[in-house]
Chain A
Amino acid sequence: MEKPLLDIQDLYVNYKIYEGTLKVLNGINLKIEKSEKVGLIGETGCGKTTTMKSILRILPQPPAIIPRGKIFFEGENIFEMDSKRLNRLRRLGISMIFQDPTASLNPVFKVGEQLGDIIKYGALESGESLSKEEIKKRSLNILKEVALPDPERLLDNYPIQLSGGMRQRICIAMALISANRLLIADEPSTNLDVTIGDQVLRLIGNIVKEKGTSVILISHALGAVKGLVDRVIVMYAGNIIEDAKKDDLFSNPLHPYTSGLINSVPKLTGGGIPTGINGRLPNYIDPPTGCRFSPRCIHAMPLCRERTPPMIDVGEKHKVTCYLFGEGGS
């Protein structure tokens, strides 16, 4: 069998701060195949972005510490790469779109300069040296690809002269230059209006389909996730708690946290406001033993507080970590 594109094995991440050690990621195991589109959901502070940043090795260390774990990208361990290999990975393999396009563009350089640099050094990495004209030609092409009007003028603009939707398209354009194999989109539409967010997600969907790029989409907007991905992974307090095909997950959520999360979303068809999930995320310095969701869970049993439930298969490509399932299978 072919190796997965991305393979995270038993990843732990701690943050060392004044008050103590925050045990954030608690053993993440995750495989992403080629051309697969995956959604990652969970409340704020569940460790979604921390996981993604570990993949690119852009976690600030300190405060972050990675005591255990391996991440393989195309069979190569990211943690063992030297800086040269790492740069190559970031320029040609994986790239990331961040939530706030304003913060991820440099305000004192023109769009053309920022795009041009990525194209220039990306090409150098693959042994090509580009002329100024060639760089400009490629910049214009990539801007056209993300459906930006008047690309010629845009190259000469500063990010501040553009609207939020346009800036996010530029970030997508930049990510696409280098994302040949994996695109990580961290809440790309959260800061945008409904209509603009819809445009941005459609754009990402079309482009990755064309290029066969794998995508990890992180989002609070469950509807947005459902529109774009094939498979959904749910995280809670540093653990992956459910992993299933999109339709399975939304029609038949198993983990009490997943169903709580899905039920918290108000429906367009009415029917009142759901109550949400009681309580809040645990304190990471002293997280609950056993299942980290047990203090908020309405089904919690004594066993849940003692031992961490393992990830079990409950159906075709449907996995869950909860003692309510398994023990003889379902």
Chain B
Amino acid sequence: MEPLLSIEHLKKYFNTERGIVRAVDDISFHINRGETFGLVGESGSGKSTTAFTVMGVYAPTAGKIFFNGEEVSLTRVTKRPQSIKKEMQMVFQDPGSSLNPRQSIKQILELPLKVHKMAEGKRVEKMIELLDRVELPKDYLNRNSPEIGGGEKQMVAIARAMATEPSLIALDEPTSALDVSMQGKIINTLMRLQKEFNYSYLFITHDLSLMRNVATRVGIMYLGKLNEVAPALEFFHKPLHPYTQMLLSSIPVISEEEEKMKPVKVVSKGEIPSPVNIPPGCVFHTRCSECKDVCFKEEPVMVEMEPNHYVRCHKFTN
């Protein structure tokens, strides 16, 4: 079956005073209907830029984005047809700054309905139904966002993203601003709604333990490039790329079983280089423990090691 979203050789560069920042540099992946595609990576690796470019916040520098088989990348966001914009929505990291504190929840939820031309008489009913999806009582419509807790705010942000009945929702670190005790409730609600409405999620997080429990497939980004893409189980049990191994072995865990499944400790060293001065050859060679001569010169290519398990490392191409 044709994937819902597919991205081919997507690039997004920014011109800055210090030079060109290659935030997203030639990545390709796809998201199937009803699945959760996870993007992990350190800050500055280009995860959010990828999501923003897919959503149409940024126009891509190069590459193509297909949605339902239709190319949606050439046009700038203002020119994407409403019927496409309606299909893709986003939930941001910090609900405190993504909800207008001077608006009531009713005004916040009503805007997307207005923009997408829902008849006025039907809106209240729809808004109550949206709040019900995220398990909030209907009297919340008359509250302002500063009056409600952080977790509830994020629930409102989720309800707002669902207002246009999209098929793809980008979740950019939806729980990292919240306590763990709240995280479970939000994630479980998202998972339940995915089953119910067959949403596809582009899930961004740096919390790998969380990713293990939500994603069907995971891609790992480093300096604007995808290093490894694999089904979630394989990604966590048989990581191939040295960077994936380093990241997984760095996670602090609390139980013995988790400690056992981590790859052999790869001592993490160095930091992610500046995206203005991207190292030549393989971008990870400055921190890699298995670096060879070829890594300094040539950029590796993505190869399929197992069905659906892709990795980009010279170790696997001879």
Contacts and interface: CB of A to CB of B under 8 A. Distances in A.
Q: How many interface residues does chain A have, given as a range?
A: 35 or more
Nearest to B180: A264
A44 interface: yes
Interface in B14-73: 42-43
Interface string B183-226: 11101100100000000000000111110111000000000000
A222 B253 CA distance: 7
B193 to A, nearest CB: 13
Interface stretch (B106-114, B153-161, B256-264): B256-264
B269 interface: yes
A300 interface: no
Contacts of B151: 280
B103 interface: no
Nearest to A198: B250
Contacts of B213: 266-267, 270-273
A222 B251 CA distance: 11
B187 A273 contact: yes
Contact of B268 (A195, A272, A273, A275): A195
A15 to B, nearest CB: 19
Which of A267, A268, A273 has most B Cβ within 10 Å?
A268
B307 interface: no
Contact of B188 (A195, A270, A275): A275
Contacts of B255: 250, 267, 269
Given A195-B247, A268-B262, A262 B268 contact: no
Contacts of B250: 194-195, 197-198
A260 B181 contact: yes
B184 A274 contact: yes
A320 B172 CA distance: 38
Nearest to B45: A193
B268 A276 contact: no
Interface residues of B, number: 40
A174 B42 CA distance: 26
A165 B185 CA distance: 31
B236 interface: yes
A36 interface: no
B206 A268 contact: no
Interface string A215-229: 000001111101100
Contact of A43 (B179, B187, B206, B212): B179
Given A165-B271, A268-B253, A273-B213, A194 B247 contact: yes
A277 B181 contact: yes
A44 B151 CA distance: 12
A160 interface: no
A268 B209 contact: yes
A239 to B, nearest CB: 17
A37 B210 CA distance: 28
Nearest to A246: B254
Interface string A223-260: 11011000000000000000000000010000000001
A269 B259 CA distance: 9
A221 B258 contact: no
A22 interface: no
Given A261-B180, A276-B181, A268 B214 contact: no
29 contacts: A43-B180, A43-B181, A193-B43, A193-B272, A194-B42, A194-B251, A195-B42, A195-B247, A195-B268, A196-B42, A220-B180, A222-B180, A226-B252, A226-B253, A227-B252, A250-B254, A266-B210, A266-B212, A267-B213, A267-B258, A268-B258, A268-B261, A269-B212, A269-B258, A273-B191, A273-B213, A276-B181, A276-B182, A280-B149
Given A43-B180, A223-B252, 8 more contacts: A195-B247, A196-B42, A197-B250, A226-B252, A267-B253, A273-B188, A280-B151, A280-B182
